[in-house]
């Protein structure tokens, strides 16, 4: 087959919604885009463990601690599926970690904000995992098979995470005035960064158009953001909390909520590494990697020894 006919075959599969699998021919740019998106997604899961991990030892009850611990462990699992999916595209795990540690690879802006109170665990589950689900459900139909399949399980777990966050918010919002105040304060701090998670507006998104054509992305950044706003406003009403946007208003004609302007300068500043916790998050990841060196060395030594023992036994 010529490159031209490989391309034609690939295009046909994309147009016919047939999954692309690791051994199939694919254009270089498709491969690169997938490595970029899947690895950023994997890094986000792993870095995303840090703001919540910060509260495991301070959870207000044994039940809350067990639930939060399970959630944070799930995020590690998501990172591992996603790193494995990225590896099927011909990049190694070491290269992926190197890109994270050197600052070359991005991870979600949301995880560069601090978790100041227990209510932040509620707000993260409700809003951050809620936004993640909105973004990831369409990714279950992504054209790349391994990524789409990983997303199915990730989404099931994220929906448990979203509920646990909402339940924390519900408890606080119906608790003492001080607890309700904490919940409102968390919503005030996490609302806008959650909207930024969906990425820049469509007009400024360099990757959306091509990713939609390749059926990697099924909905645009703005479409997903709007869907998230529409469902979340109703959830805030049930909590009796106020979304910190004075321009938020139901638009009968559009059948959607209109909302105020997002501070995109803040978003790009965080993406460029200047958010409140960027340095702390990366330093923590790099330290964890360095501290784990002896484990990797021991595992390699063990594997070498086994290999040598097997070779001796075979020779005997
Ligand atoms: N933060 O052209 P665009 C989770 C970058 S983890 C930082 O629209 P694209 C969870 C973007 O990479 C949630 N950077 O890009 C874990 C691009 O730069 P490059 C993570 C961002 O890829 C633990 C540039 O801006 N979810 O759920 O078409 C606990 C222009 O953007 C961000 C995923 O990763 C951002 N928010 O669309 C709880 C989902 N947004 O790469 C929860 C998978 C944009 O050209 N990823 N940028 O240098 C996606 O769906 C897409 O990659 C995005 C961006 C919608 C995020």
Helices 145-173 and 129-136: crossing angle in degrees, nearest 10, is: 150
* Residue located via tokens 């997303």: 151
What is the CA(83)–ligand 1 centre distance, in A?
15
What is the CA(108)–ligand 1 centre distance, in A?
6
Contacts of 283 (CB under 8 A, 6+ apart): none
What is the CA(206)–ligand 1 centre distance, in A?
12
Q: Which of 51, 68, 103, 108 to mutate to test the pocket of ligand 1 (most atoms within 8 A of CB)?
A: 108
C-alpha 39 chain-centroid distance: 10
Report the alpha-carbon distance of residue 81 to residue 266 in Å, rounded: 31
Does the beta carbon of 211 lie inside 6 Å of ligand 1?
Answer: yes
Does the beta carbon of 221 lie inside 6 Å of ligand 1?
Answer: yes
Contacts of 37 (CB under 8 A, 6+ apart): 207, 211, 216
Report the alpha-carbon distance of residue 71 to residue 161 in Å, rounded: 6
Report the alpha-carbon distance of residue 22 to residue 4 in Å, rounded: 19
The torsion of the CA quartet 99, 100, 105, 111, rounded to 10 degrees, works out to 180
Ligand 1, atom 40: nearest CA belongs to which residue?
199
Measuring CA to CA, how many Å separate 253 from each of 98, 194, 249, 256, 272?
Answer: 49, 26, 12, 8, 38
Short-list 49, 242, 72, 42, CA closest to 164 = 72
Per-residue pLDDT 10s for the chain (316 aa) are 676 799 999 999 999 999 999 999 999 999 999 999 999 999 999 999 999 999 999 999 999 999 999 999 999 999 999 999 999 999 999 999 999 999 999 999 999 999 999 999 999 999 999 999 999 999 999 999 999 999 999 999 999 999 999 999 999 999 999 999 999 999 999 999 999 999 999 999 999 999 999 999 999 999 999 999 999 999 999 999 999 999 999 999 999 999 999 999 999 999 999 999 999 999 999 999 999 999 999 999 999 999 999 999 988 8
What is the CA(63)–ligand 1 centre distance, in A?
32
Does the beta carbon of 154 lie inside 6 Å of ligand 1?
Answer: no
What is the CA(2)–ligand 1 centre distance, in A?
35
Ligand 1 atom with minimal separation from the 36 CA:
41
Ligand 1 atom with minimal separation from the 107 CA:
7
What is the CA(251)–ligand 1 centre distance, in A?
28
Does the beta carbon of 245 lie inside 6 Å of ligand 1?
Answer: no
Does the beta carbon of 108 lie inside 6 Å of ligand 1?
Answer: yes
CB 17 within 8 A of CB 215: yes
Q: What are the structure tokens assigned to 62, written together?
A: 């044994």
Q: What are the structure tokens assigned to 198, written together?
A: 């969906």
Q: What are the structure tokens assigned to 4, written together?
A: 């031209």
Bridge partner residues of 249 (DSSP)? 258
Model confidence over 101-111: pLDDT tens digits?
Answer: 999 999 999 99
CB 264 within 8 A of CB 201: yes
Q: Which of 39, 207, 210, 273 to mutate to test the pocket of ligand 1 (most atoms within 8 A of CB)?
A: 207
DSSP codes joined into one string, 129-154: HHHHHHHHTGGGG-SBHHHHHHHHHH
Measuring CA to CA, how many Å separate 240 from each of 129, 197, 258, 309?
Answer: 20, 24, 20, 66
What is residue 124's DSSP assignment? Answer: I
Query: Could you report how far apart the first and last alpha carbons of the chain are, in Å?
Result: 48
pLDDT for 14: 97
Does the beta carbon of 138 lie inside 6 Å of ligand 1?
Answer: no
The torsion of the CA quartet 263, 207, 218, 17, rounded to 10 degrees, works out to -170
Bridge partner residues of 144 (DSSP)? 20
pLDDT for 1: 64
Bridge partner residues of 250 (DSSP)? 257
């Amino acid at each position: 087959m010529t490159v031209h006919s490989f391309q034609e075959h690939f295009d046909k599969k994309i147009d016919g919604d047939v999954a692309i699998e690791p051994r199939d021919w694919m254009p270089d740019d498709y491969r690169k885009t997938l490595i970029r998106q899947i690895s950023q997604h994997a890094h986000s899961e792993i870095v995303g463990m840090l703001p919540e991990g910060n509260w495991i030892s301070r959870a207000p009850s044994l039940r809350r601690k067990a639930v939060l611990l399970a959630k944070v462990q799930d995020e590690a699992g998501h990172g591992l599926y996603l790193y494995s999916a990225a590896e099927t595209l011909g990049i190694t795990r070491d290269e992926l970690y190197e890109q994270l540690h050197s600052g070359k690879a991005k991870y979600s802006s949301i995880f560069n904000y601090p978790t100041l109170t227990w209510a932040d665990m509620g707000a993260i589950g409700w809003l951050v995992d809620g936004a993640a689900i909105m973004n990831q459900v369409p990714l279950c139909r992504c054209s790349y098979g391994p990524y789409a399949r990983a997303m199915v399980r990730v989404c099931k777990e994220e929906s448990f995470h979203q509920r646990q966050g909402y339940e924390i918010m519900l408890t606080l919002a119906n608790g003492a005035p001080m607890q309700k105040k904490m919940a409102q304060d968390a919503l005030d701090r996490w609302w806008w960064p959650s909207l930024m998670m969906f990425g820049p507006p469509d007009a400024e998104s360099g990757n959306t158009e091509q990713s939609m054509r390749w059926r990697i992305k099924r909905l645009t950044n703005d479409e997903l953001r709007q869907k998230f706003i529409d469902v979340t406003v109703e959830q805030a009403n049930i909590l009796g909390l106020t979304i910190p946007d004075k321009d938020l208003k139901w638009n009968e004609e559009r059948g959607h909520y209109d909302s105020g302007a997002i501070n995109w300068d803040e978003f790009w500043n965080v993406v460029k590494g200047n958010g409140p916790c960027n340095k702390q998050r990366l330093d923590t990841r790099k330290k964890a990697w360095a501290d784990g060196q002896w484990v990797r060395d021991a595992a390699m030594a063990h594997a070498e020894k086994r290999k040598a023992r097997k070779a001796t036994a075979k020779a005997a």
